[in-house]
Amino acid sequence: MRAKASTAPLHPTVVLWTAVGLIGFVLLPWYGLRDNFFTLSWLFDGYPFDDNVAPALFLVLQGQKLWLAPLGILLLAPLLLWRRKKADPYFGHLLIAVGAAGFAYLMLQGFGIGLRGFQWSWLTALFGELDDRQFGMGWGALLVSGAFLFLCTLGLAGRGAVGGDEFVVGSIGFIVAVVGIFIFMPIVQMLGSALVTQDGNYSLGVFFAKLFSSRLWGLGCVSGGPRCGVAWNSLFLAVLVGLLTTALGLVFALVVTRTGFRYGSLLRALTILPIITPPFVIGLAIILLFGLSGVITQGFSDLFGLQPTRWVYGLPGLLIAQVLAFTPIAFLVMIGVVEGVSPSMEEAAQTLRASRWQTFVTVSLPLMRPGLANAFLLGFIESMADFGNPLVLGGNFDVLSTEIFFAIVGAQYDQAQAAILAIVLLFFTLAAFYAQRFWLGQKSYTTVSGKGDSGIHPHLPATFRNAIYAIAGLWTLFTLLIYVTIFYGSFVKQWGVDFSLTFDHYVESFAVGWNQFGIHWRGAAWSSFWTTMEIALISAPLTAAIGLLTAYLLVRQNFRGKDAFEFGAMLSFAIPGTVIGVSYVIAFNVPPIELTGTGIILVLSFIFRNMPVGVRAGIASMSQIDRSLDESSLTLGANSWQTFRKVVLPLLRPAILAALIYSFVRAMTAISAIIFLVSAQYNMSTSYIVGRVENNEYGIAIAYSAVLIGVMLAVIGLMQLAVGRRNIGRRHMETDLSQSRTNVGVAGAG
Amino acid sequence: MAEIKSNAASVEFRNVTKVYGKSKVPAVNDISLFIEAGNLVTLLGPSGCGKTTTLRMIAGLELATSGQILIGGADVTRLPATDRDVSMVFQSYALFPHMTVRENVEYGLKFSGFSKKDTADKAKAGLELVGLGGFGDRLPSQLSGGQQQRVAVARALVLEPQVLLFDEPLSNLDAKLRRHVREEIREIQQNLGLTVVYVTHDQEEALAVSDRIIVMNNAVIAQDGTPRDLYDAPSSAFVADFIGEANIFDCRITDVAKDVATVELGPLSLKLPARDQRPGPARLAVRPGRIELGSAGAPRTLPGTLHKVTYVGSHLEFVVDTEFGAVFAISTTVDAQFEAGQKVGVGFCEHGPVLLTG
Ligand SMILES: Nc1ncnc2c1ncn2[C@@H]1O[C@H](COP(=O)(O)OP(=O)(O)OP(=O)(O)O)[C@@H](O)[C@H]1O
Ligand SMILES: [Mg+2]
């Protein structure tokens, strides 16, 4: 033990969080404000006495919201620790008690007392009718809950949890709290609201009737009827997409790593394109090519005198669009895994008389199993959650995600119906998640020993190589065709009718003018464009931070309950964006957390949708950094926060950048979650574009998409400049580096 | 009960050169060697000298840039690994993690046209040979490092290859186990009469197990001979220093008669085997253990001052300053009374000094 020089009578961290809590309680408005907090306009709205902007203390002093008073008393309790050491059992016990009680009470009063007094009848039974009400929590409440949370974790650290490390315990507490509040709680509330009927009663009967309705589960298409249930449609499509994208991802990964193909980087670049394209844009391009007035359809009908049909609307079109859109994700997962199979495994197989093909089938492929499972799961979830493509291409082939959307925004506004559909969706993805774990089982897929041989991956047998070249070539051509279509389409007056070239669409959406105030963003798209940029730029660093912190805890720390923590984090990967969107609408529309219509809800949904990306990027690169590095820093007297900041973070720079950019890109292209969350004030590019498509204004939609793609290309280019090129000659790569990648995917889902 | 037999064959390199990709310097430069059937030959040398490359060329995992490789007299230069009758034990063992120990051992047999029964029998015999009869159903991840290593050996052995290759097979084991396993490997090799090519950069290991050692340096062969040859008659300062330790002295050959050279080293005049050297400046090597320290001014010694004495348990180590530079010596009589600063005479045992040829 190093002797600490500090002799402060009160532990500095206790001072910090008590102060934060008191500021929240005494100074800041307790409830949510109508305007942006940071404009500080609330200071002039009768602060601190007016109900709407008053801090909790002032409310209580004025005899209102008296149930808030205990919080203030609890916040003063840490002062009892005056002159007590952290090692003193009393220190830990008191803080745990204060923190836990305060946090629990805060939540309880928040959920218990809402817009119509007591929310739960047992509270009414206990205290009688309450003729007061409260709104969503604001900054004051936020600070106070944070203070209680961290006082509690500090107490736990004081009692010796995780070696008494305040930073680690605090981080764990923080992650658990935010994941609990922003992922699991909304889903639980969604489950709850599935039981509520249109007229506000609870009914299991109605719930089951809806859950097992033939609209969902009908088997009409098998027995000769017109169509099958929505659930079957979604499942069938998702399985197909999962299988095809995995297969194609594998093909590409093999082309790049096992054939001596020289233009691998070109192929990689090409696969980036669909990632930075809002997925439904591909659906749009498919319509332009194969739709009723699509060029290829028209060409065929002219050539062969066939009647153009709407064949592409429905399963075929959806399949094409989703496979094109999600193959790159599978590729990114597969490439790591394919490279990660230790070459000496394959070389060993060869010296054991296995031919190249036998080596591939008996050794390489089985070792890629985790990657295959991962890629399938991602493709499956992406397809399940995809909203844009079914909307533009679905035709009569209804799927869950669009059905959910229409239940929420449609005429009937049936929250319970949406919740039930979302439950079915969630059930499928979680089932896939479990199936994946089951399939991987207990077997080990990573090489077992430490020091490794170097070596090179053997090439594939020639016939097999030619086959995958052909597949990859076709895919490449098709992708290029799609992008040429998008690019060209944005300059065409009206596709299918008038192919003359024009700038009209760009002018209409992105015109800039001058007026007496300076630049005037005249184009119709600017407002949503800037909102999107703003939200994406705010959420990207937060996503990266939370993701990397989680990764750090998972890779570098051991604590009780880590398995559960890891499982929870992994589980959240399997929640489709659509489900997040619906659950946010349901959960954050009412106090205690009232966020609908704000930009915050968009930021939050992005953070928790894209967190998996940050976690995965962090895990991937953190397991490559030798643990002894941070251990040596720790033994040199740095605490774990200093170690994280001084040692781990700098080494993680590439991962940070990757996570940043990736979450930025996802925020720019996402549609499935935010379509439920946008508002007139905060409209996002993607939902704006989908709106144009619905109005058949394809020109504008495509022009806008082209601009988005351009912006993101520029961002990715900047990233490449910032990170620089890394040379990964096989010979110079530590083998355990590649091994560690075997179990790690790249992209997130949603 | 199936038995593991040997199909040992010889290995020959004729002017083999390997240049990797676009690299300008060859990793192996114009090497010729011959390994007799049934011998265990070690490739020894510092890191990066081309040992692994040589081994991989025997296995067929790398193809030679030029030259000829023969196994059992047949030219295999262009044959890929699959078609060569050679097995290899990898440094990382390269056990297939998704297969049990038995499946690992059976793996190669399956592709060699054995019946199901033969495959199972041979695998069993192989595992028993390495003392892992009861471990067939475990996964490699459930074995200790030493056991994994033995599985890798069994997996290679059961194919009864013409040549068995080991690339630093012991580097992942701890010191004690290393000694034990290397003796086991040697025993199996001798019992079955296998041709084994063994890569290591541990000279003690090489001396202990080999019939012959090929010392490599900078992509060429520095010396090729039995352990005793290399130790007692190193050809170059590099070999003398790499295998054991040696004091190298600049000296002068004054006269050569009937393969006996007269060598002058300061006040000393030595009669040594000439090893084809001519009169003129030369160098000689003396092992630290073949130096005797006597009292100052004793006949047939070099004068020197004892600079350092270190007691290391089994022996004493000395550093003596002489006009020819620092001399390193060891003495097994630990009770001798020597102190730093003392004047001593440095003498050589019979057969101690050797003229270097390279
Ligand atoms: N695949 C490769 N590409 C380019 N150069 C290589 C490759 N493999 C080996 N080399 C180079 O060839 C030389 C010989 O390498 P080799 O692996 O044979 O050394 P080694 O004697 O086995 O060394 P060590 O004892 O460190 O294993 C080295 O300079 C190495 O850098
Ligand atoms: Mg080597």
Q: Whose CA is nearest to atom 28 of ligand 1?
A: B48
- H-helix or E-strand spanning residue A705: helix A698-723
What pLDDT is stored for residue A727 in this prediction? 35
Give the Cα separation of A502 and A484 in Å (integer): 16
Instruction: Show which of A468, A484, A501 is a domain's final residue.
Output: A501
Q: Which residues contact B123 (CB under 8 A, 6 or more apart)?
A: B102, B105, B106, B109, B136, B154, B158
Residue B72: CA count within 13 A, CB half-sphere: 13
Q: Do A350 and B139 touch (CB under 8 A)?
A: no
Minimum CA distance residue for ligand 1 atom 4: B20
Residue A676 inside a domain? The answer is yes
Contacting residues of A for B106, CB less than 8 Å apart: none
- The answer to whether residues A587 and A684 belong to one domain is yes
> Does A28 fall in a domain?
yes
DSSP at A4: P
Q: Whose CA is nearest to atom 3 of ligand 1?
A: B20
Domain end call among A143, A159, A175: A159
Same structural domain, A518 and A418:
no
In a domain, A337, yes or no: yes
- Who wins on pLDDT, B38 or A115? B38
**What is the Rg, in whole angstroms, of the alpha carbon atoms belonging to chain A?**
28
Closest CA to A640 of A164, A154, A177: A164
Task: Name all domains of chain B by residue range, CATH numbers in brackets.
Answer: 11-232 (3.40.50.300), 245-355 (2.40.50.140)
Q: How far apart are CA A612 and CA A748, in angstroms?
A: 5
- Full residue range of the structural domain in which residue A150 is found: 12-159
Cβ of A185: how many Cβ atoms within 10 Å?
17
pLDDT of residue B151: 92
**CATH code, domain carrying A679:** 1.10.3720.10
The answer to the question of residue A276 being in a domain is yes
Q: Which residues of chain A have pLDDT under 70?
A: 1-7, 224-226, 442-455, 620, 623-638, 644, 648, 719-720, 722-750
Q: Around B343, how many Cα atoms within 13 Å sit in the side-chain half-sphere?
A: 7
Chain A residues in contact with B171 by the CB 8 A cut-off are 451
Residues A487 and A566 reside in one and the same domain: no
Please say whether the beta carbons of A37 and A53 come within 8 A: no
Q: Examine the domain organization and report whether A490 and A513 are in the same domain.
A: no
CB contact under 8 A, A353 and B167: no
**List of chain A residues whose C-beta atoms are within 8 Å of the C-beta of residue B81:** 347, 350-351
Q: What is the ipTM of this complex?
A: 0.81
**Chain B residues touching residue A362 (CB < 8 angstroms):** 107
Q: What is the largest CA-CA distance in chain B?
A: 78
Whether A292 maps to a domain, the answer reads yes
- Among residues A5, A161, A162, the alpha carbon closest in space to that of A96 is found at A161
Q: Whose CA is closest to atom 19 on ligand 1?
A: B48
Query: Exposed (0-12), middle (13-18) or buried (19+): which is B3, by Cβ within 10 Å?
Result: exposed
Nearest alpha carbon to residue A468 among A629, A642, A249? A249
Tell me how far apart the alpha carbons of residues B36 and B158 are, in angstroms, rounded to a whole number: 21
Cβ–Cβ gap A448/B171 under 8 Å: no
Instruction: Identify residues whose C-beta is under 5 A from ligand 2, the ion.
Output: B 52
pLDDT of residue B31: 94
A480 in the same domain as A521 = no
Cross-strand partners of B309: B318
A450 interaction partners in chain B (CB closer than 8 Å):
92, 172
Q: Identify from B51, B61, B142 which residue to disrupt to test chain A contact, counting A C-beta atoms within 10 A and taking the largest count.
A: B61
B26 lines ligand 1 (CB under 6 A): no
| Phi-psi group of B160: left, alpha or beta (phi > 0 → left; psi -120 to 50 → alpha; rest → beta) | left
pLDDT on residue B277: 85
Same domain for A461 and A523?
A: no
Those residues whose C-beta lies under 8 Å from the C-beta of residue A474, and which sit 6 or more positions away, are: none
Please give the pLDDT value at position A739: 30
Is 90 exceeded by the pLDDT of residue B210? Answer: yes
pLDDT of residue B75: 94
Would the CB atoms of B171 and A451 count as touching at under 8 Å?
Answer: yes
Q: What H or E segment, with its residue span, contains residue A199?
A: none
Q: Whose CA is nearest to atom 24 of ligand 1?
A: B47
What count of Cα atoms within 13 Å lies in the side-chain half-sphere of residue A455?
29
Are the Cβ atoms of A358 and B111 closer than 8 angstroms?
yes
- Output the CA angle A601-A607-A612, nearest 5 degrees: 145
Nearest by CB to residue B139, choosing from A354, A444, A735, is A444
Give the residue from A555, A578, A575 showing the smallest Cα distance to A625: A555
The token pair at A481 is 């065709």
Residues of A engaging B, defined by a Cβ cutoff of 8 Å? 342, 344-345, 347-356, 358, 362-363, 366-367, 369, 443-453, 455, 735
**In the predicted model, what is the mean pLDDT of residues B220-240?**
90
Give the residue whose CA is nearest to atom 20 of ligand 1: B48
DSSP state of A45: T
Structure-block tokens of residue A147: 């203070």
Q: How far is CA B220 from CA A446, B12, B15, B214, in A?
A: 36, 15, 11, 10
B24 lines ligand 1 (CB under 6 A): no
B334, two tokens: 């630990």
Q: What is the pLDDT of residues B115-149, one digit of tens each?
A: 999 999 999 999 998 888 899 999 888 888 889 98
Distance of CA A298 to the CA centre of its chain: 40
**Residue at B310: amino acid letter:** T
* A395 burial level (CB within 10 Å; 0-12, 13-18, 19+): middle
Q: For residue B330, what are the CA distances in angstroms to A739, B31, B236, B245?
A: 46, 37, 22, 11
How many alpha carbons lie under 13 Å from residue A41 in its C-beta half-sphere? Answer: 6
A471 and A523 belong to one structural domain: no
Test site for ligand 1: of A451, A727, A731, A734, most ligand atoms within 8 A of the Cβ = A731
Tokens found for residue A477:
């051509």
pLDDT of residue A453: 56
Helix orientation angle between A526-556 and A599-622, rounded to the nearest 10 degrees: 40
pLDDT of residue B42: 94
The two tokens of residue A292 are: 């009723």
Q: How many domains does chain A have?
A: 3
The answer to whether A448 contacts B107, with C-beta atoms less than 8 Å apart, is no
Convert A713-739 to b/e letters by CB count within 10 Å (16 or more is b).
eebbeebeeeeeeeeeeeeeeebbebb
Query: Taking a C-beta distance cutoff of 8 angstroms, is the pair B315, B330 a contact?
Result: yes
Same domain, residue pair A493 and A513: no
The alpha carbon torsion through A234, A236, A237, A243 (nearest 10 deg) reads 140
CB-CB: which of B92, B111, B140 is closest to A452? B92
- The angle, 0 to 180 degrees and rounded to 10, between the axes of the packed helices A462-489 and A230-258 is 120
Q: Are residues A497 and A512 in the same domain?
A: no
Q: Is B46 in the pocket of ligand 1 (CB under 6 A)?
A: no
Q: What is the C-alpha to C-alpha distance for residues A438 and A435, in angstroms, rounded to an integer? A: 5
Angle among Cα A253, A256, A260 to the nearest 5 degrees reads 140
Give A669-702 as a DSSP string: H--TTGGGT--SSS--HHHHHHHHHHTT-HHHHH
Residues A394 and A486 in one domain: yes
**Residues A241 and A382: beta-carbon distance below 8 Å:** yes
Judge if A515 and A659 occupy the same domain: yes
Residue B72: count other Cβ atoms within 10 Å of its Cβ.
16
- Quote the percentage of chain B above a pLDDT of 70: 99
A159-A162-A164 Cα angle (round to 5): 45
Please indicate, yes or no, whether residues A73 and A100 belong to a single structural domain of this protein.
yes
CA-based nearest residue to A346, from B82, B255, B357: B82
Cβ contacts (< 8 Å) between A349 and chain B: which residues? 96, 107
Cβ of A625: how many Cβ atoms within 10 Å?
Answer: 18
